[in-house]
Structure 1
């Protein structure tokens, strides 16, 4: 009842953040200042974010376009993908034709082609010999984001199996809903969802806020893995859903930017320039089901609760287990 509209005069306050309440109230107009400068993204990455969400008013702070040692090595790797790579800091790799699935009869999507291609991209980049002024790329230099936990777990698991992600130096794999405020030198994004015959059935992928967060995490390079070709076709055909006023208006603008700037790379071109190592990628991964993930979380919480009490069970030399207080 506390959050039921019509039953509680505090409904708006209880269901919206204080910031939103302030923003929507005229009495706070003199207290609000719009921040208009970003210090994270390279200007090429920041431009579509600025144009699509901030009416082109987002400014870039100093040093955002500096060539870092990590970028010099990444650039050397990307040069091997020319002419498919156009030299820009946004790349969209077309994984169309590969449909997503939901492990364990759940609702969280995985796209096997996107996962394999993403890991292959990161692996080849990390194997690049640094040029003068560059540094060897490591897993910690990569932030991988996806809207789906099933994809997150598959990337984590398979990355470990392939030796791409290592103990103490792992790929940073995050759900986009949990990464707000985070950043990565190189951001690899798996949109994952691709339903047969329904390329614009995007769910959370097409959500404007989620999309804004997703596309504003990268510092030096942003690589999108998704169903690019059908999305571009929808924009070219002016499908109402991706046009002004449509449910996927902002998503349509993102795809239009990719298309206009020729940021897309076809899978055939990528494979010819970055051949698949069948033996290296032939790792069968069992993605945890939703129930398994819940059990894992419950075990983690139980372990933390036990540690908080300062008491644990120990057995020694066949004696009966007894409570032993930690020192």
Structure 2
């Protein structure tokens, strides 16, 4: 069920949620968190679609905050709140819980905190996600102060790698970034490979697109965990294409040239193929919502600093590239 509310208030929106819930026969129980999405008019559709897919695993009240301050002084003076309430599986973009689109016009755009606070689920955790431009200090942002977890995405910044440095400088427990979530499968496969191979790692390299923040984070994670020099090599992508770990017995290589299927080569063992596809945003959000405690592994990795990664001393020899299964 959809309810459109024009020039409304948070109290009227709550009443609309109750009315829609009763009409659709959908109970309020079962929702485990509130997910607040802070975005703009142009990007809200894709973000809401991803959140709705994630809500099938984590039933949630989804609040989409769309700020429309206006461009002229006259528009800025016209403060108004418009809302669209969606409840029930049949409602477009409603997911399995409740969805409210909040359009904050004029001066009200600067007071999203006051609008959102009365709409949070009582006694349930809150997660705030900025799918596009994020505040310089998410934990100090007024909406960010409401949340147990704050999700940003360095890949959407004008300078994705530079954004990682900014995230490290202002990190607070509860912060995370989708650039980190994207490398979970890489970290899992590499950790499993090292569990199977008892060898001392003497060096490492990460290959990926030039401005890919996930490739940088993966290199920073390897630097922190292995305490070895890590080279950052540039490839044509897509995304991260290969990781190589140097040992006395040879090179452990995880190579994914097509963004889907990877080959894991471990000295003394037969090569294996590993499904390592590039995941959709809905999968990334669903992963982040599985744990709401501070991610200490991310904190340690992002604080290493992109300046710690090394440029390769020389081009990669053709023979080495072939060994990686390219």
TM-score scaled by length of structure 2: 0.26
Q: Indicate the structure with greater helix content.
A: 1
TM-score scaled by length of structure 1: 0.26
Q: Indicate the structure with greater strand content.
A: 2
Tell me which of the two structures has the higher relative contact order, counting C-alpha pairs closer than 8 angstroms and 6 or more residues apart: 1
